[in-house]
Amino acid sequence: MGAKIAIQGIKGSFHHQVVREYYDEAVEIDECLSFEELVSSLLSGKSDQAVMAIENSIAGPIIPNYALIDKNNLHIIGEHYLSIHQNLMALKGQKMEDILEVHSHPMALLQCMDFLKTYPHIKIVEDKDTAETARRIQTNQLKGIAAIGSRVASEMYDLEILAPEIQTIKNNMTRFVIINKENSFVAEKDINRASIKFELDHKRGSLAAVLNVMSDCKMNLTKIQSLPKIETPWKYSFFVDVTFEDYADFAKAKSLITIMAEYFKVLGEYKNTKPLTANN
């Protein structure tokens, strides 16, 4: 058996699907029902690496997860993009007219709201995890209740898909990061993406100056998000993702921003795997 990988959710979840696609060798899974539990699994040594959702093409970045990585001094060592396909599933033999309730994670329910509105008689119930709901329906033989989740979950828990691809926006992707206690050992020639954090003095033009440095150093800014510093009113931390062609350009940007910022930290340097098109 290979490494042990912590995921948020259980087998059959989208996090589990990422593990199946990202890792070539057979790995063990540590199922965690929260991202905090996932981080604890990694820090305690219970797991070797972890898979964490970090950004959705519709909902945007999951900033609390960036904060978890930062607070616990973890490192992003890779990324994986997953096209999200939501399916309505229930016990075999059930039909749409038999369904009285739909249970799933709040994000999954939101992604499928247009479909659910066409069945006003069905009660919508928020749950912790898409796959866990599917498993519970099978374990307890719950008739009249459907789950929303991946095709993998329907196969794993032997449920029938009553309505496939019910997400409102078909081109829906989530970016996951691979996190580790130690920094990446990716060769510099293969590194073309980085996640960084910096804090600036609260004065006019400070952010613009840093962004100009990134532009001058040929950085492509793919995401920027601010997070208030609770202990220091009116000060913000900036979480930024950049891509680049030459690591030397990024190294130059790092040295300059280190001087300009009150605080600077690299959360991860790794290989960009964003697909050329989301329609895959």
Q: In whole numbers, what is the pLDDT of the chain averaged over residues? A: 92
199-219 tens-digit pLDDT: 998 788 899 999 999 999 999
Radius of gyration of the chain (CA): 21
> Which tokens sit at 183?
């920094």
| Ramachandran angles phi, psi of 187, nearest 5° | -65, 145
33-75 tens-digit pLDDT: 899 999 999 999 999 999 999 988 877 788 889 999 999 999 9
The 3-state DSSP class for residue 137 equals helix
Question: pTM value?
Answer: 0.87
pLDDT, average across residues 246-264 = 96
Q: Between 231 and 73, whose confidence is greater?
A: 73
Partner residues linked to 88 by β-bridges:
148, 163
279 has pLDDT over 80: no
- 66-71: long-range contacts (C-beta < 8 A, 24 or more apart)? 66/195, 66/197, 66/225, 66/227, 66/239, 66/267, 67/227, 68/35, 68/36, 68/39, 69/177, 69/179, 69/267, 69/268, 70/197, 70/237, 70/239, 70/265, 70/267
Q: Between 276 and 12, whose confidence is greater?
A: 12
280 has pLDDT over 80: no
Quickly state the pLDDT bin for 254 (edges 50, 70, 90): very high
Q: Give the ranges where 179-219 is alpha helix by DSSP (H).
A: 206-216
Query: What's the pLDDT score for residue 233?
Result: 75
Q: What percent of the chain has pLDDT over 90?
A: 77
